[in-house]
Amino acid sequence: MTTISVNHLTKSFKYHKKEVGFKNSVKNLFNGQSYTKTAVNDISFSIEEGEIVGFLGPNGAGKTTTLKMLSGIMHPTSGDVSILNCVPWQRKNEFKRQISIVLGQKNQLWWDLPASESLYLNKCMYKIDDAEYSRTLDELCELLQVKDLLDVQVRNLSLGERMKMELIAALLHKPKVIFLDEPTIGLDMIAQKNIREFLKFYNKKEKTTIMLTSHYLEDIEDLCKRTIVINHGRIVYDGNIKSINEKLEQKKLVTFQFAKDKDAAIFEKHNLIRNKEDGAIVLEVEKNEMQEVISKVFEKYEIHDFSVENIPLEESLEKLYR
């Protein structure tokens, strides 16, 4: 079943430029020139129930603007969106009760209050039954291991602990769709992994549809089978993240560990070398030439070990961004 349907969605902003000085301020007041920036440019996609989809792109690509339109925070310039058969920007209660958005750089918890009080406020806003609230809160706190932190002022929580509380606040009403914008930003590796494991478990248990933006590729690779890449407001890729290399790169990295240091020294003159260290050479080889190159190396040199890998995903994404 299709949960999110986006058709020809576009968002443009008007802005003005002004040179420095009072004279230019007066000039701009009466004869100002306006410009238009298209942040999201005619994008279309659909997401099925229970999918976790990564939404990638460089800064300024239109990711957060898209999520704000899908969550109803922002109106589009044109286009249609249907989420759970609702139009987001109409902001009907039926829609708001079924979605949630977590912005990694925005707080929804009250800074000077214990997290428990902000969570109870959400309980009242969403009219959650007392028994259901207690049961859900206990379950989420147990999963995220923060039960002993509920009565601590939010300002006194670490960034990772605060992010876990933000997730609990977003999930209390058991939404069917969750938008996560940089949920692990600034967190250490352990906190990132804990949140990823929680999201995987919660998605499997509740069949929640999740749309996730992140600059940490570990988040995307670990959580998402499908990735949508946006750049300059347009979708440039939609598919399995592991297939990006296959579409963009026709090369592989072949690492040879030489048994003799002198062989490694001789081979360093080879023009395919990408990297070298401690008797090991990394070659960047075209896929259709790989077998031939490996055979020739084994014929001429004594090899202790070798391996074949894809070009790093970061490099392929960088090409898409460019």
Q: Which DSSP string corresponds to 231-291? A: ETTEEEEEE-GGGHHHHH--EEEEEEEESSHHHHHHHTT-TTEEEEETTEEEEEEEGGGHH
Helix (H) or strand (E) holding 10: strand 2-16
Helix (H) or strand (E) holding 170: helix 159-171
Query: Rounded to an integer, what distance in angstroms lies between the CA atom of residue 195 and that of residue 46?
Result: 25
Query: Rounded to an integer, what distance in angstroms lies between the CA atom of residue 122 and that of residue 169?
Result: 7
Lay out the sheet containing 34-48: strands in order across: 34-48, 2-16, 78-83
Q: Of the ranges 31-35, 122-126, 167-171, which one carries the lowest mean pLDDT score?
A: 31-35
Query: Rounded to an integer, what distance in angstroms lies between the CA atom of residue 219 and that of residue 52?
Result: 11
Listed residue (283, 286, 279) closest to 302, CA to CA: 279
* 264 confidence band (pLDDT: 50, 70, 90): low
Query: What are 145's two structure tokens?
Result: 């291991």
Indicate whether 265 pLDDT > 70: no
| CB atoms near residue 174 (< 10 Å) | 15
Mean pLDDT of 164-185: 89
| CB atoms near residue 172 (< 10 Å) | 21
Indicate whether 160 pLDDT > 90: no
Best mean pLDDT range from 52-61, 235-244, 295-304, 307-316: 52-61
pLDDT at 149: 92
The sign of the dihedral angle between the CA atoms of 159, 162, 166, 172 is positive
* 306 confidence band (pLDDT: 50, 70, 90): confident
User: How much of the chain is helix, strand and coil, in % rounded to 5?
Assistant: 40, 30, 30
Please give the residue that has the higher pLDDT: either 244 or 196: 196
Q: What is the mean pLDDT of the chain?
A: 85
* Span between the terminal Cα atoms of the chain, in Å: 35
Is 216 exposed, middle or buried (CB count within 10 Å of its CB: 0-12, 13-18, 19+)? Answer: middle
Query: Rounded to an integer, what distance in angstroms lies between the CA atom of residue 128 and that of residue 119?
Result: 11
Query: What are 142's two structure tokens?
Result: 């147990």
Query: What are 173's two structure tokens?
Result: 């009403």
Query: Rounded to an integer, what distance in angstroms lies between the CA atom of residue 50 and that of residue 123?
Result: 24
* 249 confidence band (pLDDT: 50, 70, 90): low
pLDDT at 251: 77
Identify any residues that bridge with 230 across adjacent strands, giving them in sequence order: 235
Helix (H) or strand (E) holding 160: helix 159-171
All structural domains of the chain, each given as residue ranges with its CATH number in brackets, are 2-242 (3.40.50.300), 246-321 (3.30.70)
Query: Rounded to an integer, what distance in angstroms lies between the CA atom of residue 162 and that of residue 152?
Result: 10
Asked whether 312 and 284 are in contact (CB, 8 A), the reply is no
